[in-house]
Amino acid sequence: MVDAVNIDDTDPSITYSGSWQILSNSPLEFGGGVHSTTQNGASATITFKGTRLQMFCTVANGTGNETADFIFDGRSGPSLTRNSHPDMSYYKDGWFDSGPVPDDVHVLTVSNGGGPSDTPFQIDYFSVNGSVVQPSGTQTPSAAASSTSASNTPTGGLANTSPESRSKSSSTAAIVGGVIGGLIFLVFVIVLAFLYRRRRTQHIVFSSDLQETVETTRPRTLTSVTPFQLDSNPTTTSPSGESRTNIAFDNLTTLTEKAPLSDASLHPSSTPTASPDSSEAEPHPLTSRQRPQSDAPPSYEA
């Protein structure tokens, strides 16, 4: 058998609907306090997986009655009413007991059957043979944070947003925002400096290349060239007996050649010898004629 586990009224597994107050009435109550309401229809819902569920309440002193309505696993049960006593309160008073049930998931919803003129309905704790099931999308209870004792601080899973907590949240958000803004500004400055440095480097390199280009393409200083002067009457004799005469004519040279000596000149005979000037080719003012091919040299016999 599974042991019973006590679930305080402030446990987040309990979902409250309507107007509830958290009261710290007495150390005799489980957890030192209760959830109290005088609104008709205000309800509390608990879901568990196990074999048994019990609910315990506080019956405050007074002259009225305290009434509750129950719905267990979708089925409505009989209402329960407790009479208040003018001189005393009843603590840990049992209001609901499911008895043995199959080991499965079960849901209990209890609501206030009274009204503002009745004794407040006060839930102290639940006892579960099994384990509670946390509701999906837990609904924050709508409870007035007032207390009839010196302590009015809520405990457990109830949401209580105080001005101090809101101030801390605002301060944290401001700090985070400032840090993010500072980082963004720092990155912007670094990028700007990088771009400026890169542009300046490109400008310096371009200026240097431009200066080198100007120096390279600068026109050279022209100097006068002295024309090469040819000797007006040079005469040379080649080994074959040729004579060459170079004549300067407007800086153009015309080459005239004499034909090589023939066999007749080497061996004189009665044949008349041609005039020395007859073998010379008259030079053209701008061109020279090709030298005539001479006869093969004579052969000598020993």
Specify the CATH number for the domain of residue 31. 2.60.120.260
Domain membership flag for residue 156: no
Q: What is the rounded distance in angstroms from the CA atom of residue 236 to the CA atom of residue 243?
A: 6
Nearest alpha carbon to residue 56 among 114, 119, 7, 115: 7
Average pLDDT value for the chain: 72
**pLDDT at 155 exceeding the cut of 70:** no
Angle ∠(173,177,179) on CA atoms, nearest 5? 120
Q: Of how many residues is the chain composed?
A: 302
Count other Cβ atoms within 10 Å, centred on residue 125.
21
What average pLDDT does the segment 268-275 reach? 48
Domain membership flag for residue 231: no
What average pLDDT does the segment 296-300 reach? 50
Domain membership flag for residue 161: no
Question: What is the reported pLDDT for 208?
Answer: 60
Domain membership flag for residue 59: yes
Q: pLDDT per residue over 205-252, tens digit each?
A: 555 655 655 555 555 555 555 554 544 555 544 444 444 444 444 444
Q: Note down the domain range covering 81.
A: 5-132
Dump the DSSP string for 24-60: ---TTSGGG-EEEE-STT-EEEEEEEEEEEEEEEEE-
Q: pLDDT per residue over 26-57, tens digit each?
A: 888 999 999 999 999 999 999 999 999 999 99
Q: What is the rounded distance in angstroms from the CA atom of residue 8 to the CA atom of residue 29?
A: 10
Beta strand 143-144 with 20-23 is parallel
Domain membership flag for residue 296: no
Q: What is the rounded distance in angstroms from the CA atom of residue 59 to the CA atom of residue 92?
A: 9
Q: Into how many domains does the chain fold?
A: 1
**pLDDT at 294 exceeding the cut of 90:** no
Which has the minimum average pLDDT: 64-73, 149-158, 223-232, 288-297? 149-158
Among 9-23, 214-228, 233-247, 258-272, the range with the most confident prediction by mean pLDDT is: 9-23
What type of residue is 110? V
What average pLDDT does the segment 114-134 reach? 92
Domain membership flag for residue 77: yes
Nearest alpha carbon to residue 58 among 20, 24, 87, 89: 89
DSSP-assigned beta bridge partners for residue 249:
252
Residue with the larger pLDDT of the pair 21 and 136? 21
Nearest alpha carbon to residue 55 among 123, 126, 131, 124: 126
Domain membership flag for residue 146: no
pTM equals 0.46
Q: For 192, phi and psi rounded to 5 degrees?
A: -65, -45
Domain membership flag for residue 95: yes
